[in-house]
Amino acid sequence: MSDPLLDRLIAAIDARQPVALVTVVEATGRFGPALGQRALVGLETELFGRLNLAEHEAGLLAQARQALANRRSQLLTVRQPEGTAAVFVEVQHRPLSLLIVGAGHVALPLAQLGKMVGFDVTVLDDRPSFANKQRFPMADAVLAQPFRETLANWPIDNDTFIVLVTRGHSHDVDCLLEVLDSPARYIGMIGSKRRVQAVFDLLEKEQGLDPQKFDRVYSPIGLDIGAENPAEIAVAVIAEMINVIRGGRAVSLSDALRANRRLPLHPGRVKLKEGD
Protein backbone atom coordinates (compact mmCIF):
# COMPACT_ATOMS: atom_id res chain seq x y z
CA MET A 1 0.00 0.00 0.00
CA SER A 2 1.48 3.32 -1.05
CA ASP A 3 2.03 6.23 1.33
CA PRO A 4 0.38 9.39 -0.11
CA LEU A 5 2.84 11.67 1.67
CA LEU A 6 5.83 9.69 0.41
CA ASP A 7 4.36 9.73 -3.10
CA ARG A 8 4.05 13.53 -2.90
CA LEU A 9 7.63 13.82 -1.66
CA ILE A 10 9.02 11.71 -4.51
CA ALA A 11 6.97 13.62 -7.07
CA ALA A 12 8.26 16.95 -5.74
CA ILE A 13 11.87 15.78 -5.88
CA ASP A 14 11.42 14.42 -9.42
CA ALA A 15 9.89 17.76 -10.47
CA ARG A 16 12.80 19.66 -8.86
CA GLN A 17 10.44 21.46 -6.51
CA PRO A 18 11.92 22.64 -3.19
CA VAL A 19 10.29 20.67 -0.38
CA ALA A 20 10.94 19.75 3.23
CA LEU A 21 9.71 16.74 5.17
CA VAL A 22 8.62 17.77 8.67
CA THR A 23 8.43 14.99 11.29
CA VAL A 24 7.49 15.07 14.96
CA VAL A 25 10.45 13.18 16.48
CA GLU A 26 9.72 13.84 20.16
CA ALA A 27 6.40 14.37 21.89
CA THR A 28 5.66 14.21 25.62
CA GLY A 29 2.73 15.18 27.81
CA ARG A 30 -0.23 16.56 25.93
CA PHE A 31 1.76 16.44 22.68
CA GLY A 32 2.23 12.67 22.97
CA PRO A 33 -0.33 11.67 20.29
CA ALA A 34 1.57 13.74 17.70
CA LEU A 35 4.69 11.54 17.81
CA GLY A 36 5.56 10.39 14.29
CA GLN A 37 3.19 12.77 12.52
CA ARG A 38 4.56 14.13 9.25
CA ALA A 39 3.89 16.97 6.84
CA LEU A 40 5.40 18.36 3.65
CA VAL A 41 6.03 22.04 3.13
CA GLY A 42 7.12 23.81 -0.04
CA LEU A 43 8.06 27.37 -0.85
CA GLU A 44 5.05 27.81 -3.10
CA THR A 45 3.13 24.51 -2.97
CA GLU A 46 0.30 23.81 -0.56
CA LEU A 47 0.96 22.03 2.72
CA PHE A 48 0.33 18.29 2.73
CA GLY A 49 -0.20 16.42 6.00
CA ARG A 50 -0.67 17.50 9.62
CA LEU A 51 1.48 17.55 12.76
CA ASN A 52 -1.42 17.68 15.24
CA LEU A 53 0.39 20.20 17.44
CA ALA A 54 -2.63 22.41 18.06
CA GLU A 55 -1.85 26.12 18.44
CA HIS A 56 1.87 25.59 17.80
CA GLU A 57 1.44 23.98 14.39
CA ALA A 58 1.18 27.13 12.25
CA GLY A 59 4.27 28.69 13.80
CA LEU A 60 6.35 25.53 13.45
CA LEU A 61 5.36 25.09 9.82
CA ALA A 62 6.24 28.73 9.11
CA GLN A 63 9.69 28.09 10.61
CA ALA A 64 9.96 24.93 8.52
CA ARG A 65 9.25 26.91 5.36
CA GLN A 66 11.96 29.40 6.35
CA ALA A 67 14.41 26.52 6.89
CA LEU A 68 13.56 25.34 3.39
CA ALA A 69 14.19 28.82 1.99
CA ASN A 70 17.57 28.82 3.76
CA ARG A 71 18.30 25.30 2.42
CA ARG A 72 19.21 24.08 5.91
CA SER A 73 17.66 21.16 7.81
CA GLN A 74 16.74 22.12 11.34
CA LEU A 75 15.39 20.79 14.66
CA LEU A 76 12.58 22.90 16.11
CA THR A 77 11.42 22.50 19.71
CA VAL A 78 8.38 23.61 21.71
CA ARG A 79 8.63 23.34 25.50
CA GLN A 80 5.54 23.87 27.63
CA PRO A 81 4.76 22.95 31.25
CA GLU A 82 2.29 20.39 29.93
CA GLY A 83 4.69 18.77 27.46
CA THR A 84 7.48 19.02 24.88
CA ALA A 85 7.46 18.56 21.11
CA ALA A 86 10.47 18.39 18.79
CA VAL A 87 10.08 18.63 15.03
CA PHE A 88 12.81 17.78 12.52
CA VAL A 89 12.73 19.69 9.25
CA GLU A 90 14.54 17.64 6.59
CA VAL A 91 15.24 19.82 3.59
CA GLN A 92 15.37 17.90 0.33
CA HIS A 93 18.26 19.51 -1.48
CA ARG A 94 18.27 20.03 -5.21
CA PRO A 95 21.21 21.50 -7.10
CA LEU A 96 21.17 25.23 -7.64
CA SER A 97 20.95 26.02 -11.33
CA LEU A 98 23.59 28.20 -13.00
CA LEU A 99 22.63 29.49 -16.45
CA ILE A 100 25.63 31.01 -18.23
CA VAL A 101 24.43 33.15 -21.14
CA GLY A 102 27.35 33.50 -23.52
CA ALA A 103 30.09 30.98 -24.26
CA GLY A 104 33.20 33.13 -24.53
CA HIS A 105 36.43 33.22 -22.53
CA VAL A 106 34.87 33.92 -19.12
CA ALA A 107 32.22 31.22 -19.56
CA LEU A 108 34.81 28.42 -19.58
CA PRO A 109 36.29 28.91 -16.08
CA LEU A 110 32.84 29.95 -14.85
CA ALA A 111 31.36 26.60 -15.90
CA GLN A 112 34.31 24.73 -14.38
CA LEU A 113 34.06 26.51 -11.03
CA GLY A 114 30.28 26.29 -11.05
CA LYS A 115 30.42 22.51 -11.25
CA MET A 116 33.12 22.37 -8.57
CA VAL A 117 30.90 24.16 -6.05
CA GLY A 118 27.82 22.08 -6.90
CA PHE A 119 25.77 24.01 -9.46
CA ASP A 120 23.78 22.35 -12.22
CA VAL A 121 25.42 24.23 -15.12
CA THR A 122 23.87 25.17 -18.45
CA VAL A 123 25.69 27.20 -21.12
CA LEU A 124 23.68 29.09 -23.75
CA ASP A 125 25.02 30.80 -26.87
CA ASP A 126 23.66 31.30 -30.36
CA ARG A 127 26.94 30.20 -31.97
CA PRO A 128 27.32 26.41 -32.35
CA SER A 129 31.07 26.83 -32.77
CA PHE A 130 31.19 28.13 -29.19
CA ALA A 131 28.23 26.34 -27.57
CA ASN A 132 29.13 22.67 -27.83
CA LYS A 133 30.03 19.79 -25.50
CA GLN A 134 33.58 19.63 -26.84
CA ARG A 135 34.20 23.12 -25.54
CA PHE A 136 32.18 22.63 -22.32
CA PRO A 137 32.50 18.94 -21.34
CA MET A 138 31.92 19.84 -17.68
CA ALA A 139 28.50 21.44 -18.28
CA ASP A 140 25.26 19.55 -17.66
CA ALA A 141 23.75 21.08 -20.79
CA VAL A 142 25.08 23.18 -23.66
CA LEU A 143 22.54 24.93 -25.89
CA ALA A 144 23.27 26.48 -29.29
CA GLN A 145 20.07 28.50 -29.48
CA PRO A 146 18.92 32.14 -29.80
CA PHE A 147 19.35 34.07 -26.57
CA ARG A 148 16.06 35.84 -26.17
CA GLU A 149 13.71 33.10 -27.35
CA THR A 150 15.42 30.55 -25.13
CA LEU A 151 15.36 32.77 -22.04
CA ALA A 152 11.70 33.62 -22.62
CA ASN A 153 10.82 29.94 -22.16
CA TRP A 154 13.44 29.01 -19.57
CA PRO A 155 12.09 27.62 -16.23
CA ILE A 156 13.49 30.27 -13.89
CA ASP A 157 12.81 29.99 -10.16
CA ASN A 158 14.34 31.06 -6.84
CA ASP A 159 17.12 28.49 -7.25
CA THR A 160 18.23 29.90 -10.62
CA PHE A 161 21.43 31.94 -10.95
CA ILE A 162 21.87 33.76 -14.26
CA VAL A 163 25.18 35.16 -15.50
CA LEU A 164 25.15 37.29 -18.65
CA VAL A 165 28.55 37.16 -20.36
CA THR A 166 27.44 37.76 -23.92
CA ARG A 167 29.62 39.18 -26.65
CA GLY A 168 27.70 42.39 -27.25
CA HIS A 169 25.68 45.29 -25.96
CA SER A 170 22.52 44.36 -27.89
CA HIS A 171 22.49 40.83 -26.49
CA ASP A 172 22.78 42.20 -22.94
CA VAL A 173 19.70 44.35 -23.53
CA ASP A 174 17.67 41.48 -24.98
CA CYS A 175 18.64 39.09 -22.20
CA LEU A 176 17.94 41.54 -19.39
CA LEU A 177 14.50 42.23 -20.82
CA GLU A 178 13.65 38.55 -20.46
CA VAL A 179 15.06 37.89 -16.98
CA LEU A 180 14.85 41.17 -15.06
CA ASP A 181 11.36 40.48 -13.69
CA SER A 182 11.96 36.76 -13.17
CA PRO A 183 12.19 35.11 -9.72
CA ALA A 184 15.89 34.30 -10.30
CA ARG A 185 17.96 34.37 -7.10
CA TYR A 186 20.86 36.09 -8.85
CA ILE A 187 21.28 38.05 -12.08
CA GLY A 188 24.79 39.17 -12.92
CA MET A 189 26.02 40.97 -16.04
CA ILE A 190 29.62 41.43 -17.11
CA GLY A 191 30.85 44.72 -18.51
CA SER A 192 32.76 47.90 -17.94
CA LYS A 193 31.13 50.75 -16.03
CA ARG A 194 30.40 52.48 -19.34
CA ARG A 195 28.88 49.41 -21.00
CA VAL A 196 26.74 48.59 -17.98
CA GLN A 197 25.42 52.14 -17.73
CA ALA A 198 24.72 52.19 -21.47
CA VAL A 199 22.58 49.06 -21.15
CA PHE A 200 20.65 50.47 -18.19
CA ASP A 201 20.12 53.84 -19.91
CA LEU A 202 18.86 52.14 -23.06
CA LEU A 203 16.40 49.98 -21.15
CA GLU A 204 15.13 52.98 -19.23
CA LYS A 205 14.74 55.32 -22.23
CA GLU A 206 13.59 52.93 -24.95
CA GLN A 207 11.74 50.31 -22.90
CA GLY A 208 10.44 52.58 -20.15
CA LEU A 209 11.80 50.40 -17.35
CA ASP A 210 11.95 51.71 -13.81
CA PRO A 211 15.67 52.28 -13.07
CA GLN A 212 15.15 50.91 -9.56
CA LYS A 213 14.75 47.48 -11.14
CA PHE A 214 18.44 47.55 -12.08
CA ASP A 215 19.39 47.49 -8.39
CA ARG A 216 18.86 43.71 -8.37
CA VAL A 217 21.43 43.22 -11.15
CA TYR A 218 24.98 42.50 -10.01
CA SER A 219 26.81 44.57 -12.62
CA PRO A 220 29.69 45.12 -13.03
CA ILE A 221 29.76 41.52 -11.91
CA GLY A 222 31.63 39.80 -9.09
CA LEU A 223 33.11 40.62 -5.72
CA ASP A 224 35.38 43.64 -5.49
CA ILE A 225 38.71 41.78 -5.67
CA GLY A 226 40.24 43.61 -8.63
CA ALA A 227 39.79 40.64 -10.99
CA GLU A 228 41.13 41.14 -14.52
CA ASN A 229 41.66 37.93 -16.53
CA PRO A 230 38.87 35.41 -17.30
CA ALA A 231 39.81 32.98 -14.53
CA GLU A 232 39.98 35.75 -11.92
CA ILE A 233 36.65 37.14 -13.06
CA ALA A 234 35.10 33.67 -12.78
CA VAL A 235 36.43 33.36 -9.21
CA ALA A 236 34.93 36.75 -8.34
CA VAL A 237 31.56 35.79 -9.85
CA ILE A 238 31.32 32.39 -8.18
CA ALA A 239 32.37 33.96 -4.88
CA GLU A 240 29.65 36.58 -5.28
CA MET A 241 27.03 33.88 -5.84
CA ILE A 242 28.24 31.98 -2.77
CA ASN A 243 28.02 35.27 -0.87
CA VAL A 244 24.35 35.50 -1.92
CA ILE A 245 23.61 31.89 -1.01
CA ARG A 246 25.29 31.97 2.40
CA GLY A 247 24.45 35.53 3.38
CA GLY A 248 28.10 36.48 3.51
CA ARG A 249 29.52 39.92 4.27
CA ALA A 250 31.82 40.35 1.26
CA VAL A 251 31.34 43.49 -0.84
CA SER A 252 30.04 43.18 -4.40
CA LEU A 253 31.66 45.39 -7.00
CA SER A 254 28.21 46.60 -8.08
CA ASP A 255 27.43 47.78 -4.53
CA ALA A 256 30.82 49.46 -4.19
CA LEU A 257 30.26 51.37 -7.43
CA ARG A 258 26.73 52.41 -6.49
CA ALA A 259 28.23 53.96 -3.38
CA ASN A 260 31.07 55.62 -5.32
CA ARG A 261 30.96 55.73 -9.12
CA ARG A 262 34.52 57.09 -9.23
CA LEU A 263 36.05 53.83 -8.00
CA PRO A 264 38.26 52.15 -10.63
CA LEU A 265 37.29 48.67 -11.80
CA HIS A 266 40.94 47.60 -11.78
CA PRO A 267 42.77 49.19 -8.83
CA GLY A 268 45.92 47.22 -9.67
CA ARG A 269 46.27 49.09 -12.96
CA VAL A 270 45.86 52.45 -11.22
CA LYS A 271 48.65 51.61 -8.77
CA LEU A 272 50.87 50.52 -11.65
CA LYS A 273 50.38 53.85 -13.41
CA GLU A 274 51.08 55.75 -10.22
CA GLY A 275 54.35 53.85 -9.83
CA ASP A 276 55.57 54.59 -13.36
Output the pLDDT for position 57: 92
Determine contact, residues 52/38, Cβ cutoff 8 Å: no
How far apart CA 77 and CA 187 sit, in angstroms, is 37
Indicate the pairing of strand 160-164 with strand 141-144. Answer: unpaired
- Domains in the chain with CATH codes: 4-92 (no CATH), 97-269 (3.40.50.720)
Query: Is 66 exposed, middle or buried (CB count within 10 Å of its CB: 0-12, 13-18, 19+)?
Result: middle
Phi, psi (5° rounding) for residue 146?
-60, 140
CB environment 192-213: b (16+ within 10 A), e (fewer): ebebbeebbebbeeeeebeeee
pLDDT computed for residue 268 by the predictor: 62
Those residues of the chain that have pLDDT short of 70 are 1, 265-276
| Sign of the C-alpha dihedral computed for residues 108, 111, 113 and 116 taken in this order | negative
210, 200 contact by CB (below 8 A): no
pLDDT at 275: 45
* Residue 154 near residue 129 (C-beta atoms within 8 A): no
- The pLDDT score that the predictor gives to residue 270 is 52
Q: Could you read off the pLDDT of 120-135 as tens digits, one per residue?
A: 999 999 999 999 999 9
pLDDT of 276 reads 44
How many Å apart are CA 159 and CA 162, to the nearest integer?
10
Strand 97-101 to 83-92 pairing: unpaired
- Count Cβ atoms within 10 A of the Cβ of residue 144 and give its class: 0-12 exposed, 13-18 middle, 19 or more buried: middle
